Each structure stands twice: as C-alpha cells, then as structure tokens.
Structure 1
C-alpha cells in the first residue's frame, strides 16, 4: 500500500486510487491556485524532477502537476502496459 502524503517545502505529495485498484502518485509544485501545467517526466526521473522550479512557478502563478509513470515512484506497475496507458491513468 502507498505511504501517506509527506509535504516538504513547496511539494504536496498525493496518491490516488485508480479504478483498476492501482495507485498513481503525483506531486504538486508552484501556486496551488495557479494555471495548471502537467509535467510528463522522462525515463529515469519521477514526479520530483521539477521541484527546483517550485519557487519560479509560485511567482508566475503556475500550478505544476507531476505524476509518476506506472511502475515509477509511488505509482503501481501495470502488467502489459503501453506508453499510451499513462495518459489513460
């Protein structure tokens, strides 16, 4: 089971339960009321790769939503998944 959210600095960690029972982890940075922007991290990183942009995003009025891909960080793996499955999550 996923661990509870652990806020540190500007980060707000969350875990949501998907309809198929898996968990999807994500972090929020920047202005919580700002314009949403979704960060799609690369192959060797995760939801925390944009943490250095937190202060700039706050100042610019941007809310960064940064989900972990399936099997990375706090997101559960999906057997037989394709790259398109990430968007469906």
Structure 2
C-alpha cells in the first residue's frame, strides 16, 4: 500500500530534524513534524499529495494485474477443520 502524503513528508524531514534536535525524544520529534505539516499551505503539500496520487495509481495497477492472475491451481486447498470444543472449567 502506498504511503500517504503526510508519511512521504515525514520520511523526508525526519532525519534532518533529528540531526538538528538530537536531544528530542521520538514522540516529540513526531509532534514537531505534525505541527509543521499542519502549518503548511495546500500549495506546499501539493508535492507530497501528487507523489501519493502517483503511488496510488501504480499500486492499483499492480494490484489489478496481480488479482487478474487469480489463485494458482497447484496450491492445495486447506479443508475446513472444526474448532475444538471448549470444556467447562471444573471448580
């Protein structure tokens, strides 16, 4: 599954921010990244959004090709095995 626009942004800026703020714990670093993302304009986010759209299209195309192949006939089907019955606890 393709990464969301936010995840693409996060992957790009995380290392740089970690280098600038080595003392920050991971949770605060992610919070800082989230605040930056929230403060960005739609125009600034457009690059990540368009990358996400391209990745989604590629994924959907690959998935459709995979699904069109169907299940290979040489894979054995596992028979339905009934679940074991639970016994009442003895007190």
| TM-score in terms of structure 1 length | 0.24
Q: Which has the higher contact order (CA 8 A, sep 6+)?
A: 2
Give the TM-score normalised by structure 2.
0.24
Structure number with the higher helix fraction is 2
Structure showing the higher strand proportion among its residues: 1
